[in-house]
Structure 1
Amino acid sequence: MRSDWILDVLTDLKTFATANDLPVLAEQLDDTAIVALAEIAALHEKTQGETQHERQLEPGGSGIGGAGAGGHA
C-alpha cells in the first residue's frame, strides 16, 4: 500500500498555512512531515524485512529446511 500520499497532504497544508500568514503552523507541518517520512521509511524497512524472511522460509529458500539442509553425508 502506498503511504507517502500523506506527504502530499502535509505539503498542501503547509502551502495553505504559509499563504495565510500562519508561520507557526507551517513550521509544525514541516516537523510533522519529517516524522511522517521517518515512520514511512521504518514501515517500508519492516515490510521489506518480513518479505525477505518469508522468502527464506519458502521451500528451496535459504532458511532452515530449505535446499541444502537435508543432512546428506
Structure 2
Amino acid sequence: MANNDWILDVLVDLKSFASANGLGVLAEQLDDTMLIAAAEIASVRDGAVNSYGEQSPLGSHIGRNGSHRSA
C-alpha cells in the first residue's frame, strides 16, 4: 500500500496559505480536514473493515441506510 501521509503535508501547506492570506474560515476548515484525513489514513493502515467485510475509512459499523447496527 502506498504511503498516504503526503496528503497531510499538502493540507498543512494549504492551511498556511489560507492563514497568511486572510482566509480564516478556510484555515479552520482545513484543521478539521486534517483530523479526518489523519484518522482515515490510520484506519486504512490498520486494516479496519466494516460489518460488510469492506474496507471502512473510519472503522465504523454503520449500516447502508445510515443507522447504527448493533450486535
1:10 corresponds to: 11
Q: Which runs of 4+ in 1 moved over 3 A?
A: none
Gaps of 5+ in 2: 49-71
The residue aligned with 2:30 is: 29
Q: Which one has the largest radius of gyration?
A: 1
Alignment of 1:1-73 (within 5 A): 1-46=2-47
The structure with the greater share of residues assigned to helix is: 1
The alignment-based identity, stated in percent, is 62
1:16 Cα deviation from its structure 2 partner = 0.3
Q: Could you tell me the TM-score, scaled by structure 1's length?
A: 0.63
Matches of 1:4 and 1:31, distance apart in 2 = 16
RMSD: 1.1
- Alpha-carbon distance between aligned partners in 1 of 2:28 and 2:47, rounded to the nearest angstrom: 29
Q: Distance in 1 between matches of 2:34 and 2:46?
A: 18
Structure 2 CA distance, aligned partners of 1:37 and 1:7? 7
Unaligned ranges ≥5, structure 1: 48-73
Kindly tell me the number of residue pairs found equivalent between the two proteins: 47
